[in-house]
C-alpha cells in the first residue's frame, strides 16, 4: 500500500491511521516490534476501543515510512492526560531495513553522527526560551499531580456525588490558578515572539516535545492544534466556546480547558 500521508517536518517518528468512525489519528510511537506497536495519543477524547481495527495504519521512523497496512487495538491505558495504545500489526512492512545501520560499522557511525547532529540543534534553542518553557512545564506538572490527589479522593465517593464535587473543586481552584497560568503563558508568548523567524521551526519542535504531552489533554487546545486554520463552519470549535468549559477526562484537563477558553 502506498503511503499517502506524511509526517510534519518536526515529527521524526509518527503513527498515522483512521479509526472505525473515519477520524484521522496522529500519535507518537514509543515501542515497536515486528508484531506490535505501542503509541501515545494526546487526543482528549476516547476515540479508540479494544479490538478496533485501524485502517490506513502507517508508521514513520526518522521520517521514513516503515509500515503501511492495518492494525488491531489490543490494549488501552488512559492516563487522564493521554492515551497509551498497544496494537497488533499485520505483515505490511515496507521495504525498509531498520537494522541496516547495525550491519556495517561505517553505516552505524554515520547514523550515530546524524543523531548527534540532530540533537545538537537543540543548542540553537535560546536559553531564555528554554528557561520559560521549563518553568511552565514544571508548574503544569506539579499542578497536575496536586489535582490528581484530589481526583483520587473524589473518585472514591459515590458516583452520584462526583460531578458536584468536581465542579466545587474546579470553582475553588480556578480563582487562584487562572492568574498564575496566565502569567506563565504570557511569559511564554513573550519569549516566543523574540525568536528569529529562521529558528522558529526548531523552537516549535522543542515546545511540542516539552509541552504537548501535558496541554493537549484539554479538548479546546487539542482542537485548535488538529484544526489550526479554523473556519466559519467549524461547528465544534464554536460550540466549545459557547458551552460550559469544564470539559476533559481529568480535573487538570478541565481546569486547563477552562483557562484556554477564558
DSSP 159-185: HHHHHHHHHHHHHHHHHHHHHHHHHHH
CATH of domain 14-98: 2.40.10.220
Cβ atoms of 15 and 21 within 8 Å: the answer is no
Cβ atoms of 59 and 29 within 8 Å: the answer is yes
From the centroid of its chain, how far is CA 29? 11
Q: pLDDT at residue 181 above 60?
A: yes
What does the DSSP 8-state code read for residue 130?
A: H
* 85-131 per-position pLDDT tens digit: 999 988 778 765 555 555 566 677 777 787 788 778 888 999 999 99
Distance (Å, whole) CA 132 – CA 105: 41
Report domain extents, the chain: 14-98, 125-261
Higher pLDDT, 182 or 81: 182
Read off the C-alpha cell for 96.
525498509
What are φ and ψ of residue 203, in 5° steps? Answer: -70, -35
The pTM score is 0.68
What does the DSSP 8-state code read for residue 156?
A: T
pLDDT value at residue 22: 84
User: What average pLDDT does the chain have?
Assistant: 84
Strand partners, 76: 85
> In the block, which residue shows the cell 468536581?
166
Question: Quick one: angle between helices 127-155 and 251-261, nearest 10?
Answer: 130
Cβ atoms of 191 and 200 within 8 Å: the answer is no
What are φ and ψ of residue 40, in 5° steps? Answer: -105, 135
Amino acid at each position: 500500500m502506498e503511503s499517502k500521508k506524511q509526517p510534519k517536518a518536526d515529527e521524526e517518528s509518527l503513527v498515522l491511521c483512521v479509526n472505525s468512525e473515519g477520524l484521522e489519528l496522529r500519535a507518537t510511537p514509543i515501542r515497536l516490534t515486528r508484531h506490535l506497536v505501542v503509541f501515545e495519543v494526546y487526543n482528549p477524547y476516547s476515540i479508540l476501543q479494544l479490538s478496533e481495527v485501524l485502517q490506513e495504519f502507517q508508521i514513520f521512523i526518522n521520517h521514513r515510512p516503515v509500515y503501511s497496512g492495518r492494525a488491531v487495538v489490543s490494549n488501552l491505558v488512559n492516563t487522564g492526560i493521554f492515551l497509551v495504545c498497544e496494537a497488533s500489526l499485520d505483515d505490511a512492512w515496507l521495504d525498509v531495513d531498520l537494522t541496516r545501520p547495525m550491519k556495517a560499522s561505517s553505516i552505524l557511525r554515520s547514523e550515530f553522527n546524524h543523531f548527534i547532529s540532530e540533537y545538537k540543534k537543540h543548542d540553537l534553542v535560546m536559553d531564555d526560551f528554554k528557561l520559560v518553557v521549563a518553568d511552565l512545564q514544571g508548574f503544569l506538572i506539579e499542578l497536575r499531580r496536586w489535582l490528581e490527589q484530589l481526583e483520587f479522593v473524589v473518585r472514591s465517593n459515590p458516583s452520584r456525588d462526583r460531578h458536584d464535587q468536581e465542579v466545587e473543586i474546579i470553582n475553588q481552584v480556578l480563582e487562584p490558578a487562572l492568574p498564575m497560568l496566565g502569567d506563565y503563558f504570557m511569559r511564554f508568548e513573550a519569549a516566543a515572539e523574540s525568536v528569529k523567524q529562521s529558528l522558529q521551526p526548531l523552537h516549535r519542535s522543542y515546545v511540542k516535545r516539552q509541552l504537548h504531552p501535558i496541554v493537549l489533554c484539554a479538548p479546546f487546545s487539542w482542537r485548535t492544534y488538529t484544526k489550526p486554520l479554523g473556519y466559519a463552519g467549524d461547528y465544534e470549535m464554536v460550540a466549545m466556546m459557547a458551552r460550559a468549559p469544564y470539559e476533559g477526562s481529568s480535573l487538570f484537563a478541565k481546569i486547563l480547558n477552562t483557562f484556554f477558553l477564558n
